[in-house]
């Protein structure tokens, strides 16, 4: 993501065709996020898998995300938006995936294989 931003900000003619991220931590301040959202409008997809803990780090407001969130719910379906209540309910549904270690769901959801499995499921 940062390489795409650097190309765009240094010379917009070198802009990447698009940028997809999977479980990315917050990497921008608000100024960079606004510029990125403008430069990559409709060409940026930020995927977050259910309870993945990494996208919540480092804490806000010092760092923020760019727009274009695609939320992967606990059943592996991709959503372009998720209401606050829907997100909380989905978060709770994902926790008991491993009854013996419910806290591990946040790390398990970060594995790239989890992202790929969900995205492949949504192709059909």
Specify the pTM: 0.82
What's the Rg (C-alpha) of the chain? 15
How confident is the prediction for the chain on average, in pLDDT? 85
Residue 19 contacts residue 43 (beta carbons within 8 Å): yes
Give residue-wise pLDDT tens across range 34-45: 988 888 888 889
> Which has the higher per-residue pLDDT, 9 or 77?
77
Sequence-distant contacts of 59-62: CB under 8 A, at least 24 apart? 60/26, 61/30, 62/29
Residue 22 has phi, psi (to 5 degrees) of -130, 105
Judged against a pLDDT cut of 60, whether residue 102 lies above it is answered with no
Judged against a pLDDT cut of 80, whether residue 97 lies above it is answered with no
Question: Please, which pLDDT band fits residue 17 given cuts at 50, 70 and 90?
Answer: confident
For the chain, the domains span 17-123
For 22, counting Cβ atoms within 10 Å of its Cβ (0-12 exposed, 13-18 middle, 19+ buried), the class is buried
Give residue-wise pLDDT tens across range 22-80: 999 999 999 989 988 888 888 889 999 998 999 999 988 899 999 989 999 989 999 99
Q: What is residue 101's predicted lDDT score, i.e. its pLDDT?
A: 64
- Name the residue among 106, 109, 90, 39 with its Cα closest to residue 67: 39
> Which has the higher per-residue pLDDT, 104 or 57?
57
Residues in the chain: 124
In the sheet that 69-72 helps form, which strands lie side by side, from edge to edge?
A: 19-22, 44-49, 69-72, 78-79
């Amino acid at each position: 993501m940062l390489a795409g931003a650097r190309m765009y900000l240094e010379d917009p003619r070198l802009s990447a065709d698009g940028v997809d991220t999977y479980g990315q931590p917050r990497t921008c301040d608000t100024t960079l996020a606004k510029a990125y959202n403008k430069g990559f409008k409709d060409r940026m997809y930020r995927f977050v898998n259910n309870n993945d803990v990494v996208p919540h780090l480092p804490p806000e407001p010092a760092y923020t995300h760019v727009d274009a969130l695609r939320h992967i719910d606990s059943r592996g379906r991709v959503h372009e938006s998720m209401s606050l209540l829907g997100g909380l309910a989905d978060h709770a549904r994902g926790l008991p995936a491993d009854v013996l270690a419910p806290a591990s769901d946040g790390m398990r959801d970060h594995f790239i294989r989890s992202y790929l499995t969900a995205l492949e499921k949504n192709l059909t």
